[in-house]
Chains A and B, each alone.
Chain A
Amino acid sequence: MSVAGETATAARAPTRRQAWGIAAFFAAAVLAWMLFSVWPDWLNAVLISKKAFFSSIFNGITLAGLYFLVASGFTLVFGLMRNVNLAHGSLYLLGAYLGYEVTRLTGYWLIGVAAGFAALAVLGLLMQVLVFRRLEGDDLRQTLVTIGISIVAADLMLWMWTGATYQIATPTWLDGAVRLPIVTAYRSNGEAVFLSYPFYRLVVLAAAVVIGVGLWLLLNRTRVGMMIRAGVDDRAMLAASGVNVHAVFAVVFAIGAGLAGFAGVVGGSALSVAPGEDIRYLLASLVVVIVGGMGSITGAAIGALLIGLAEQIGLVYFPTYGIVLTFVIMVATLAIRPQGIMGQGTAGRAR
């Protein structure tokens, strides 16, 4: 993360960067052509249809937005506290249930979203202060505790909300589909057929981008963010320089848990809320964070994009082996870059 490191790599390898630039240019050109042309038959034959292809791409990106929201909290908490919060999926599901209840009671979806974030942030704060602070420095026990919490939480949620599937009602201004300026085909009378896409999913994507940028600004442009970054690099040193590390931990845990709750409400509106979703999003967060690199928000974004796209493309093109694609990405990352795409490696983090 140091500035000196960045300039050194930039000065050392300009040719490599140029090569990547050219590759990226070509990829963008191909993508642009695919986006705006009407596909020839052979391409339709390979990729089923333009509509199927771009729908899966857009679905993948939207799902990536959701995964990013969940995983960013997970990666922040892990990066700072070395706490593998295996109850993170439970936080997501609880946020979704609470959002459902609040939306149902008040009738306002936005209040539901806010409640999901706020309630889980408070819960995260409590968990950090009451539970994890007592076990500080013992990674394994902290992780075991989160497993215990997730078991109890899953069971209690099953008790409260039974095994039924819920769908959080979205307001009318979020319903409907938008027509994207992408022509999938021409009718026989020469009229263009445009790709349409649910408006709500675009909103999810936009929310993820806004929150991602917000987190980036928080981490890189504020004093608290500076403390958090310092804590990720060297916790002991941060404490030695007079910062109340526990307060920083509590803030980060609250943000992480709150984001999980937020993602729960947003995801519960786009998809559905049911028992078992906690495991699904926990797995997604794990893989995203392993692929992207622990403790890195940018890494979480890249990982989420990869996994979201892989999952949706896999769903369309090889349904029974979709999960394998996700898994292959994880294994390949571990084989080539064990610390994750944006991870710093263990050497950089002397502890």
Chain B
Amino acid sequence: MSLALSSSDPAARPAAAVGGTGAAHVVLAALLLLYPAVASDFFLTQIGAYSLILGMIALSLMLLAGYGGMVSLAQISVAGMAGYTVAIFGLNSSAVHGFGWPWWIVVPMAVAVGGVVSALIGAISTRTEGIYTIMITLAVATAIFYFTQQNYALFNGFPGFAGIRAPEFWGVAWRDPLPFYYLTLAVAALAYAAVLYARRSTFGLALQAIRDNPRRMRAIGFDVTAHKVVAWFYAGLIAGLAGVLLVWFNGRISPGTINVGAAINILIIAVIGGMRHPIGPFLGAVVVVLMQTFAIDIIGAERFNTLIGLFFLVIVFASPDGLLGLWGRLKPRLASPSLGAGQDGGGHRAANLASNAEQTGRREE
């Protein structure tokens, strides 16, 4: 755990906030890979795979919000469009469309649709800046929801499409719990690694610079709008992948999958988890999915939205950076009595100072 390094290298700071980079990832990967050994089928799919899928959609939001400063509420719509592509061009049992194209054509196509739809939404919403984005994307998400509900020619209206199955290839039925979990895990890990890489890439750094000061970046000669739209495209690819998995997971897709509640759910996941590091959305997804699943036992199925909403409010009030931020603040206190605390704590304090400074800088804009 190279914590001392974090104070000298600003780019490594968010990683330090979750407690080291390499070692933590190895432990996390081992845990996730061994998870099926202890988990039942229910925990494997309904909790594990579902969290990973929602986490990926939230990851695409985190990519936009955390690095681009664009909070999008339309990521579930992007995922939904990819899902609809799978339903329309693959097989479904609704007797509408369902061209039955093989998965190796449909999936790349669906992901591309996700990227393009996302880029289009980005092109619309980058016409304005800041808090306007959230309004425009919410309007877009709602419009897409109403459109899919009203349009029977293309989207089969209210019932949507049912009977969509994950394909079988390489001798594996990917629909079964264990293969589906590993498939989801592999795709999620890919998306996570891609975001981790993109964060340090030239593009990622330029995007973060644009978030912090678009005017200066424009003056230096960067095409601010193009960078943002490309970020939307990448985010759309991730959301599109997640959308394909989501439609395989549910076996169906309907306007209800992409309604406003679902759009807000993704934002809740990202905010609860924290948007400073790509692990945040996955963390948030696990927490929200666990709550959604087990809150029913505690307060009944009826009022669980109240519980989620209140928890969300508490997080927003108590820790703007979500659970990750909470952890980042708690950790130095927990670590300080232990050995070598001086240097570690110092590093953290510097990191926290830097993050505070960054935040105030962003607020002043």
A327 to B, closest residue via Cβ: B143
- Does the CB pair B136–A139 fall under 8 Å? no
Closest approach, in angstroms, between the C-beta of A305 and any C-beta of chain B? 18
CA distance A319 to B151 in the complex (A): 9
- Does the CB pair B134–A145 fall under 8 Å? no
Interface residues of B in 118-163 (CB under 8 A from A): 124, 127-132, 134-136, 138-140, 142-143, 146-147, 150-153
> For residue A324, which residues in chain B have a CB less than 8 angstroms away from its CB?
143, 147
Given B136, B150, B316, which contacts A334 in the complex, CB threshold below 8 Å? B136
**Would you call B169 an interface residue if the criterion is a C-beta within 8 Å of the partner chain's C-beta atoms?**
no
Interface centre among A134, A148, A156 (most CB of B within 10 A): A148
> For residue A86, which residues in chain B have a CB less than 8 angstroms away from its CB?
134, 138
**Would you call A149 an interface residue if the criterion is a C-beta within 8 Å of the partner chain's C-beta atoms?**
yes
Interface centre among B151, B302, B317 (most CB of A within 10 A): B317
Closest approach, in angstroms, between the C-beta of B49 and any C-beta of chain A? 25
A134 to B, closest residue via Cβ: B317
> For residue B132, which residues in chain A have a CB less than 8 angstroms away from its CB?
290, 294
Given A138, A290, A321, A326, which contacts B136 in the complex, CB threshold below 8 Å? A290
> For residue B320, which residues in chain A have a CB less than 8 angstroms away from its CB?
138, 141
> For residue B205, which residues in chain A have a CB less than 8 angstroms away from its CB?
none
CA distance A191 to B115 in the complex (A): 61
- Does the CB pair A82–B151 fall under 8 Å? no
> For residue A283, which residues in chain B have a CB less than 8 angstroms away from its CB?
138-139, 142-143
Given B130, B153, B305, which contacts A139 in the complex, CB threshold below 8 Å? B130
> For residue A138, which residues in chain B have a CB less than 8 angstroms away from its CB?
320, 363
Cβ-Cβ contact count across A and B, 8 Å cutoff: 112
**Would you call A188 an interface residue if the criterion is a C-beta within 8 Å of the partner chain's C-beta atoms?**
no
Given A155, A290, A335, which contacts B305 in the complex, CB threshold below 8 Å? A155
Q: Given A138-B363, A155-B309, A287-B139, are A145 and B128 also a contact pair (CB < 8 Å)? A: no
Given A139, A149, A282, A320, which contacts B150 in the complex, CB threshold below 8 Å? A320
> Residues of B within 8 Å of A, CB-based: how many?
40
Q: Given A138-B363, A156-B306, are A286 and B135 also a contact pair (CB < 8 Å)? A: yes
> For residue B305, which residues in chain A have a CB less than 8 angstroms away from its CB?
151-152, 154-155
A154 to B, closest residue via Cβ: B305
CA distance A283 to B137 in the complex (A): 11
Q: Given A140-B71, A327-B143, are A322 and B150 also a contact pair (CB < 8 Å)? A: yes
- Does the CB pair B128–A159 fall under 8 Å? no
Q: Given A141-B320, A283-B139, are A84 and B313 also a contact pair (CB < 8 Å)? A: no
Q: At the interface, is chain A mostly helix, strand, loop or mixed? A: helix
A345 to B, closest residue via Cβ: B128
Interface residues of A in 294-351 (CB under 8 A from B): 294, 319-324, 326-327, 330-331, 334-335, 338-339, 346
> For residue A338, which residues in chain B have a CB less than 8 angstroms away from its CB?
127-128
Closest approach, in angstroms, between the C-beta of A58 and any C-beta of chain B? 23
B140 to A, closest residue via Cβ: A327
**Would you call B308 an interface residue if the criterion is a C-beta within 8 Å of the partner chain's C-beta atoms?**
yes
Q: Given A138-B363, A145-B316, A323-B146, are A151 and B309 also a contact pair (CB < 8 Å)? A: yes
CA distance A279 to B142 in the complex (A): 8
- Does the CB pair B139–A323 fall under 8 Å? no
> For residue B317, which residues in chain A have a CB less than 8 angstroms away from its CB?
134, 145
- Does the CB pair A152–B306 fall under 8 Å? yes
Q: At the interface, is chain B mostly helix, strand, loop or mixed? A: helix
CA distance A323 to B144 in the complex (A): 9
- Does the CB pair B153–A152 fall under 8 Å? no
A337 to B, closest residue via Cβ: B127
Interface residues of A in 43-61 (CB under 8 A from B): none
CA distance A321 to B152 in the complex (A): 10
- Does the CB pair B131–A82 fall under 8 Å? yes
- Does the CB pair A346–B129 fall under 8 Å? yes
> For residue B129, which residues in chain A have a CB less than 8 angstroms away from its CB?
346
- Does the CB pair B152–A320 fall under 8 Å? yes
**Would you call B260 an interface residue if the criterion is a C-beta within 8 Å of the partner chain's C-beta atoms?**
yes
- Does the CB pair A143–B136 fall under 8 Å? no
- Does the CB pair B310–A152 fall under 8 Å? yes
Given A152, A320, A322, A346, which contacts B309 in the complex, CB threshold below 8 Å? A152
- Does the CB pair B134–A143 fall under 8 Å? yes
- Does the CB pair A151–B142 fall under 8 Å? no
Closest approach, in angstroms, between the C-beta of B275 and any C-beta of chain A? 10
- Does the CB pair B302–A159 fall under 8 Å? yes
CA distance A147 to B363 in the complex (A): 20
- Does the CB pair A144–B271 fall under 8 Å? yes
Interface centre among B134, B303, B363 (most CB of A within 10 A): B134
> For residue B310, which residues in chain A have a CB less than 8 angstroms away from its CB?
148, 152
- Does the CB pair B128–A339 fall under 8 Å? yes
Q: Which A residues contact B (CB, under 8 angstroms)?
A: 82, 84, 86, 134, 137-141, 143-145, 147-149, 151-152, 154-156, 159, 279, 282-283, 286-287, 289-290, 294, 319-324, 326-327, 330-331, 334-335, 338-339, 346
A-B contacts, 9 listed (Cβ < 8 Å): A139-B130, A144-B267, A145-B317, A147-B268, A149-B313, A155-B303, A290-B136, A320-B152, A327-B147
Task: Rank and list the top 5 A-B pairs by shortest CB-CB distance, nearest first.
Answer: A151-B309, A152-B309, A155-B305, A148-B313, A338-B127
Additional A-B contacts beyond A144-B312, A147-B264, A326-B143 (17; CB < 8 A): A140-B131, A141-B316, A143-B131, A148-B309, A148-B310, A152-B306, A154-B305, A155-B303, A279-B142, A283-B143, A286-B135, A287-B139, A290-B132, A327-B147, A339-B128, A346-B128, A346-B129
